C-alpha cells in the first residue's frame, strides 16, 4: 500500500495545474491536495478549493487573497488562505508536503521552487524558468538537499524516460552521444516570412497540437519555448550545447529521443497530453493511469522530422548563444522575453519585435556570474527595464 502523498500545486489554475489535479482526482487513495496556489484567478482557485479542500490556498495578490478568504469563510471552508511570495514559500517547503508541482509560469516561480528544493522535496518541474535563470545554483541546491527532481515538460520527461538511471555521472561515460529535443514548430512553421509582422495574438495562441496558456503558446510560436527547453536540457542532463539537437517534429507524437554511441535511438511516444508526464512524475518509479487515450499509430500513419529554421525562428539561436555565454545571459533572455510576450499579447508590440528586442537587450546587458539569487533577480529587473525602454522608443 502506497502511503498518501501530500501535494502542493504551485500554479494550480494554469493548464499544468488543472491537468495535475485531474490526474490526482483519478487516484484519491494516493494523492491529497495539501496546498493550491494562483496568481490572480481567484474564482478558479475558489472552485478548486471547494472541490479538493486543501489545507492551504495561496493568492499572490494580497487583495485577492483577502477576497478569497472571505468567500471561503462564507462557504464554510476550513482552508487557510495565505498571500504573496511568503505564502508560496510556506506551502512549498512545509514539512508535511511530499511533492511540489512547480507550475508557476515565468520568473515568479523561481523563489518558491527553490524553497521546495532546499527543503528536500520531490520537485515536479514544469517551471522551466527556474533552471533557465539559475541553472548552476538550482542543480547545486538539488544535490546538496537531496531533493528529487523530475522534469514534467513533455520533452524533458521523455528524455528522462529514455536515459540510463545514472546519467548524472556524465552522458559520454554512459554511452549517450546526443539528446534529440523535439518541437512541433508551432503554428507558423510554414507561414510565409513576410506575414510574421502582422501575426495576431489569437493566431500565435492557436497551437496545432497542444492546449496551453497564452504565454507558453506565444513562446511556442516564436520557438522561444524550445530555446528555453534547450537551456533546461543542458542543465537537467549535464549536457553541453553540442550534445543537444533540436528537431522539428510536427505531429508531436515523439516527445524527445536519446541517441546512444552504439547507434540506438530511444524515443518516448504518446498523444500530446500533459497528463502523461504529470502522472509519470507523481508516480515515479511506478506508472499509473493518467486519463490519456492510448496512441493509435495506425491513425498517426506517418512521422515527419525537419531541421529548425533559425532565420524563421531567431529565438532558438538567441537561447543557444545565451547558454554558451553563461553568467546572467539566460536571465536576460528570459526576462526580456517575458516583457515582450506580454507586450505582444496586449497589443503593444509586433510579433517580430519579440526576438529583435531580446537581441538588442542581450547586446546591451553586462553579463556577470550568477553567484546567488539576489544577483539573478537584479539582472532580471535590469533586463526588464531595458526591454521597456526599447518598447517606449
pLDDT tens digits, one per residue of 15-24: 999 999 999 9
- From CA 355, how far away is CA 199, in angstroms rounded? 14
Q: Assess whether the previous peptide bond of 125 is cis (omega < 30° from 0).
A: no
* pLDDT tens-digit series, residues 29-78: 999 999 999 999 999 999 999 999 999 999 999 999 999 999 999 999 99
Sequence spans of domains, the chain: 5-151, 167-270+308-392
DSSP string, 313-376: -HHHHHHHHHHHH-TTHHHHHHHHHHHHHHHHHTTSS-TTHHHHHHHHHHHHSPP----SHHHH
Q: Looking at the predicted structure, is the pLDDT value of residue 244 above 70? A: yes
Radius of gyration of the CA atoms of the chain, in A: 20
Average pLDDT, the chain: 94
C-alpha grid cell, residue 280:
509519470
pLDDT at 212: 73
- CATH of the structural domain 5-151, one choice from 3.40.50.720, 3.40.309.10, 1.10.10.10, 3.40.50.300: 3.40.50.720
- The percent of residues in the chain predicted with pLDDT above 70, rounded, is 99
Task: Please state, in angstroms and rounded to a whole number, the distance separating the CA atoms of residues 286 and 309.
Answer: 38
pLDDT, tens only, 64-97: 999 999 999 999 999 999 999 999 999 999 999 9
Q: Which CATH architecture has domain 167-270+308-392?
A: Orthogonal Bundle (1.10)
Residue whose C-alpha cell reads 494554469 in the numeric block: 14
pLDDT at 384: 97
pLDDT per residue as tens digits for the range 276-289: 999 999 999 999 99
CB 37 within 8 A of CB 115: no
* Least confident residue range of 53-57, 167-171, 223-227, 337-341: 167-171
**Residue 180 three-state SS:** strand
Amino acid at each position: 500500500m502506497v502511503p498518501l502523498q501530500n501535494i502542493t500545486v504551485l500554479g494550480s489554475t494554469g493548464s499544468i495545474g488543472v491537468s495535475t489535479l485531474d490526474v490526482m482526482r483519478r487516484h484519491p487513495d494516493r494523492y491529497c491536495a495539501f496546498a493550491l496556489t494562483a496568481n490572480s484567478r481567484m474564482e478558479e482557485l475558489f472552485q478548486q478549493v471547494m472541490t479538493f479542500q486543501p489545507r492551504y490556498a495561496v493568492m499572490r495578490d494580497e487583495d485577492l487573497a483577502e477576497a478569497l478568504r472571505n468567500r471561503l469563510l462564507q462557504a464554510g471552508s476550513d482552508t487557510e488562505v495565505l498571500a504573496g511570495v511568503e505564502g508560496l514559500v510556506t506551502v512549498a517547503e512545509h514539512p508535511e508536503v511530499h511533492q511540489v508541482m512547480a507550475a508557476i509560469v515565468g520568473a515568479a516561480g523561481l523563489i518558491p521552487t527553490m524553497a521546495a528544493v532546499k527543503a528536500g522535496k520531490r520537485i515536479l518541474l514544469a517551471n522551466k524558468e527556474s533552471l533557465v535563470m539559475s541553472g548552476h545554483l538550482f542543480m547545486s541546491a538539488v544535490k546538496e538537499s537531496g531533493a528529487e527532481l523530475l522534469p514534467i515538460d513533455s520533452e524533458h520527461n521523455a528524455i528522462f524516460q529514455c536515459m540510463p538511471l545514472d546519467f548524472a555521472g556524465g552522458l559520454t561515460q554512459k554511452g549517450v552521444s546526443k539528446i534529440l529535443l523535439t518541437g512541433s514548430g508551432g503554428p507558423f512553421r510554414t507561414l510565409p516570412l513576410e506575414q510574421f509582422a502582422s501575426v495576431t495574438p489569437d493566431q500565435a495562441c492557436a497551437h496545432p497540437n497542444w492546449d496551453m496558456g497564452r504565454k507558453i503558446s506565444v513562446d511556442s510560436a516564436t520557438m522561444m519555448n524550445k530555446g528555453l527547453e534547450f537551456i533546461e536540457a543542458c542543465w537537467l542532463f549535464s549536457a553541453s550545447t553540442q550534445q543537444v539537437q533540436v528537431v522539428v517534429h510536427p505531429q508531436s507524437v515523439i516527445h524527445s529521443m536519446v541517441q546512444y554511441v552504439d547507434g540506438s535511438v530511444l524515443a518516448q511516444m504518446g498523444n500530446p497530453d500533459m497528463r502523461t508526464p504529470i502522472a509519470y512524475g507523481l508516480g515515479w518509479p511506478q506508472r499509473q493511469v493518467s486519463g490519456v487515450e492510448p496512441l493509435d499509430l495506425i491513425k498517426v500513419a506517418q512521422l515527419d522530422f525537419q531541421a529548425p529554421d533559425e532565420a524563421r525562428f531567431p529565438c532558438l539561436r538567441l537561447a543557444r548563444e545565451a547558454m554558451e555565454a553563461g553568467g546572467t545571459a539566460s536571465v536576460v533572455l528570459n526576462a526580456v522575453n517575458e516583457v515582450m510576450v506580454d507586450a505582444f499579447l496586449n497589443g503593444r508590440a509586433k510579433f517580430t519585435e519579440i526576438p529583435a528586442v531580446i537581441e538588442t537587450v542581450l547586446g546591451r546587458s553586462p553579463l556577470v556570474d550568477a553567484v546567488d539569487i539576489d544577483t539573478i533577480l537584479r539582472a532580471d529587473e535590469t533586463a526588464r527595464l531595458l526591454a521597456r525602454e526599447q518598447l517606449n522608443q
